[in-house]
Amino acid sequence: MNFFMGALLVICVVILVLMFLYLGYLLTIEIRKCFLTYDKQPVTVKVVDKRHVHAYTTTTMIRVGKTTVPQLHHHPAKFEVILSWRNENYPVDDEEVFNELEIGDTVLAMANIGYNKAGVEKDVYLSFD
């Protein structure tokens, strides 16, 4: 019986150590994004898709003591335009842009390109500034 308890303890410790290592890895990735230098470039992009999702509300039931209470969650409307640049798709959630553009349109956008200290491109997003 003691052997199995010891083995279970060792397994739990190993799993806990692996979880902390993975969490550290994820934090390292996010911290590195904070130290990127961004460059803005005007680029020509093509509208390849448009998606609209209406606003909606969901309800979650929560136990408070012996009582169940409904909690409402509001989800705002999404006006997503999918832009294609350098053979990659970039979503932009903007109602004004959604109403102005149609699929197949070619427009001028700003490419915000993030570089690390070594000058390697690490992050890209498109905007209409």
- E strands present in 3-120: 37-53, 56-64, 67-75, 78-85, 88-93, 106-115
pLDDT at 35: 78
| Whether residues 90 and 46 fall in one domain | yes
Q: Specify the pairing of strand 88-93 against strand 78-85.
A: antiparallel
Say whether both 80 and 107 belong to one domain: yes
Structural domain that includes position 107: 37-127
pLDDT the model gives residue 56: 97
Q: How much is the pTM? A: 0.64
- What is the residue-level pLDDT of the chain in tens, covering all 129 positions? 677 888 888 999 999 999 999 988 887 777 766 778 889 999 999 999 999 999 999 999 999 999 999 999 999 999 999 999 999 999 999 999 999 999 999 999 999 999 988 888 988 999 987
Is the same domain home to 46 and 22? no
Same domain, residue pair 29 and 88: no
The span from the CA of 129 to the CA of 114, in Å, is 17
Q: How many domains does the chain have?
A: 2
